[in-house]
Amino acid sequence: MMFLVEEEESVKEMQEPVFVERLSKLLMMSVNHRLNVVKLNELKRNLGFPDDYLIRILPKYPDMFRLVNHSGRRSSMEIELLSWNPDLAISAVEVSARKQGSSTPSFSCSLPSTWVKSWERFHEFNATPYISPYVDSRGLLEDSKEMEKRIVGLVHELLSLTLWKKMSIVKLGHFQREFNLSENLNILLLKHPGIFYVSNKYQIYTVLLREGYNGSELIDKDPIVVVKDKFGELMQEGLHEYNQRRHELNIEKQKKKGIVSERKEKRKDVSNEMTEHDDSGDKLGGLFDPEERKRFYKVLFDDDAP
């Protein structure tokens, strides 16, 4: 267990540049280039932010970030972006287009070909120009096609920055003002099943980026996710060993009290009764007879059997 803890800490140290990049991108997408710390902390697990990022990492980059609190209340503390890096203002959709040698960024659709109507709606939506989530959205009209395109692009980019390529819609809705999101965000996301998958597991609405998964398997795993998976496997092994030991201790206690031998006698009696019934063809139709059982399975699994 200790080596996994050390591995996670070393991964976090290596991830510091990644944290700076993710935080910068989040702030660049926000309307005023500021985000509330309390709201941001709700997403820090999804984003892979360390618990002590405010006191350990932020002070190292005074030329990029600063903490502001105009009201003096703890709940009003915000992180403000001080410098704009054009190299970071490139979305995952645009990066994918460049890799494919295309000059026109567009979304990818991850739906079966049999979903004809959904594919038609996707092609219609994708035919309009892509709007980067890093452009100023205040000039776009509410409920316009351009605004919808921009919101879809922004949610796509937000999910691309998360570890598991998914996020709670409720928590995402907390940033409605900061990211200029639609009030009916869940309805808007449901209109684009080729890009997003909306789950209601455990009665918690969660939006997943379809292209980030192959079935139920995450395609590109962040190093933090790999370590957390190892933790999960180790915990499962420990739980299994604990249950095994507990079971063996219970058996030992029952043996000392003579309970196990009594149960075995009862099982023998029941087994003898079933055998007597089966041999006479009663109840189970004689399926404990080897020849009858062989014929039964032949009829069950052999298509050529009469």
**Can you tell me which residue has the tokens 């023998």?**
268
| Phi/psi of residue 55, nearest 5 degrees | -100, -20
Q: How many Cα atoms occupy the beta-carbon half-sphere of 222 within 13 Å?
A: 22
Q: What is the DSSP string of 97-164?
A: HHHTT-SS--------TT-HHHHHHHHHHHTSPP--TTS--TTSPTTSHHHHHHHHHHHHHHHHHSSS
Cβ distance 91 to 107 under 8 Å? no
pLDDT of 206 reads 92
**Which residues face 273 on adjacent strands?**
none
Domain boundaries, the chain: 1-86, 105-220
Ordered per-residue pLDDT tens for the chain, 306 residues? 454 455 555 555 557 899 999 999 999 999 999 999 999 999 998 998 988 899 999 999 999 999 999 887 878 899 999 999 999 999 999 999 999 998 899 999 988 888 899 999 999 999 999 999 999 888 888 888 999 999 999 999 999 999 999 999 999 999 999 999 988 898 999 999 999 999 887 677 899 999 999 888 888 888 777 777 676 666 676 677 777 778 778 888 777 777 655 555 555 554 454 444 444 444 334 434 555 545 544 444 344 443
Q: Considering the entire predicted model, what is its pTM?
A: 0.73
d(CA 122, CA 195) in angstroms, rounded, equals 9
| Phi/psi of residue 79, nearest 5 degrees | -100, 130
Tens of pLDDT, residues 117-171 = 999 999 999 999 999 999 988 888 888 899 999 999 999 999 999 999 999 999 9
Tens of pLDDT, residues 176-192 = 999 999 888 989 999 99
CATH architecture, domain defined by 105-220: Orthogonal Bundle (1.10)
